[in-house]
């Protein structure tokens, strides 16, 4: 990280400096471990004690934080320290990647491919026929881009990403190592003899602007039409999205989630890790789904929180868990009552 003063950083993140505005930093550090010359942040109140102990030179904090005692570091106050620190990290990452330009060798670029300006193509990348690539695109080693793919501006494809034929990627997209975009959907028709006939997958995948896709995630092409990832979606690592799925704007999905074919997920949905979705269902806008839930039916009520397998409304599911926990003692009481009833009937 180049050296920046507290004042320069405050301008980047629209903050207010308290302390020495000229102090310089050149590294990032966690608040509990940061050293002189490093910048850190405090967003979680559980870490506030470190604010008064840290050796960090600059710390980004929330505007509303009331100090309990003096601090030695220069402070930058912002409305949201976590968001401001994320912005700073993003700018730092841009500084690193913006310096990457040119085409390395050996790499293959078809003669019919069209590349924009300020692009970077690393060694061992493959760009197929009739591919269109915008400006400021970074293509790292062993990336494969199939024929007729269209890619917008400011896209980063990390090592080993594969984008199959006919897929369309918008602007400001990051796809991490090993992700596969546009492999065949899982379509097989059962035959009378018990074998399965493959159903050709003729569609594509469309990824809209401002999407990030984690490492080793897979998004299958549609059987007919498109699998669609709407703008602002964030996908964690190791996610499987089947053919003809549609994921709505600004939805976030954690690792190891699997979404079966033709399921439609709304806008602003939050999905925990290891969630499984049945096929051909729909999820309303703003729904929150707890980790390891099994979603077997459509959720039609917006902003609902669900958990469990099968997934149900959160408070109802928690109540059911309490009942399940009490089943052994209830069983014992029922048996005791059965014995008592039997004894009373014998006396009668």
Active site residues: 243
Helix, strand, or coil (residue 47): helix
Phi and psi based region of residue 87 (left: phi greater than 0; alpha: psi -120 to 50; beta: remaining): alpha
Whole-angstrom Cα distance, residue 34 to residue 40?
Answer: 7
Whole-angstrom Cα distance, residue 348 to residue 157?
Answer: 82
Q: Do 55 and 32 touch, CB atoms closer than 8 A? A: no
Q: Which residues pair with 163 in a beta bridge?
A: 145, 181
- Map tokens 């793919």 to a residue: 149
CB-side neighbour CA atoms (13 Å) of 173: 29
Q: How many angstroms separate the first and last alpha carbons of the chain?
A: 90
Question: What residues have CB less than 8 Å from 90, skipping those under 6 apart?
Answer: none
Per-residue b or e along 294-329, where b marks 16 or more CB atoms closer than 10 Å to that residue's CB: ebeeebeeeebebbbeebbebeebeeeeeeeeeeee
Closest CA relative to residue 201, chosen from 163, 165, 247, 170: 165
- Look up residue 215 and give its two tokens: 């490492």
Q: At CA 296, angle to CA 293 and CA 298, rounded to 5?
A: 110
Closest CA relative to residue 305, chosen from 262, 326, 260, 275: 275
Whole-angstrom Cα distance, residue 15 to residue 77?
Answer: 5
**Which H or E run contains 120?**
strand 120-121
């Amino acid at each position: 990280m180049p050296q920046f003063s507290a004042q320069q950083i405050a301008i980047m993140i629209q903050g207010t400096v308290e302390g020495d505005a000229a102090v310089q930093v050149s590294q990032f550090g966690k608040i509990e471990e940061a050293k002189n010359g490093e910048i850190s942040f405090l967003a979680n109140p559980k870490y506030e004690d470190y604010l008064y102990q840290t050796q960090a030179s600059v710390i980004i904090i929330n505007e509303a934080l009331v100090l309990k005692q003096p601090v030695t570091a220069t402070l930058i106050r912002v409305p949201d320290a976590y968001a401001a620190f994320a912005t700073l990290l993003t700018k730092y990452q841009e500084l690193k990647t913006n310096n990457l330009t040119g085409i390395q060798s050996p790499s293959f670029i078809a003669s019919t491919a069209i590349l924009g300006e300020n692009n970077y193509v690393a060694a061992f990348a493959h760009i197929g026929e009739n591919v269109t690539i915008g400006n400021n695109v970074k293509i790292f080693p062993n990336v494969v881009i199939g024929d007729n793919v269209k890619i917008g501006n400011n896209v980063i494809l990390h090592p080993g990403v594969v984008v199959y034929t006919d897929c369309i990627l918008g602007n400001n997209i990051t796809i991490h190592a090993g992700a596969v975009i546009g492999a065949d959907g899982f379509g097989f028709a059962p035959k009378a003899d018990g074998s399965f006939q493959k159903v050709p997958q003729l569609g594509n995948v469309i990824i809209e602007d401002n999407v990030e896709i984690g490492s080793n995630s897979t998004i299958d092409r549609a059987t007919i039409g498109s699998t669609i990832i709407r703008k602002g979606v964030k996908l964690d690592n190791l996610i499987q999205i089947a053919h003809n799925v549609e994921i709505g704007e600004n939805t976030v999905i954690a690792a190891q989630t699997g979404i079966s074919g033709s399921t439609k997920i709304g806008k602003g949905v939050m999905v925990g890790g290891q969630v499984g979705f049945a096929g051909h269902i729909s999820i309303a806008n703003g729904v929150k789904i707890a980790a390891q839930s099994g979603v077997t039916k459509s959720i039609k009520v917006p902003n609902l929180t669900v958990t469990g397998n099968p997934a149900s409304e959160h408070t109802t599911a928690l109540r059911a868990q309490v009942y399940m926990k009490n089943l052994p003692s209830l069983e014992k009481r029922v048996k005791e009552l059965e014995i008592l009833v039997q004894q009373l009937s014998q006396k009668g």
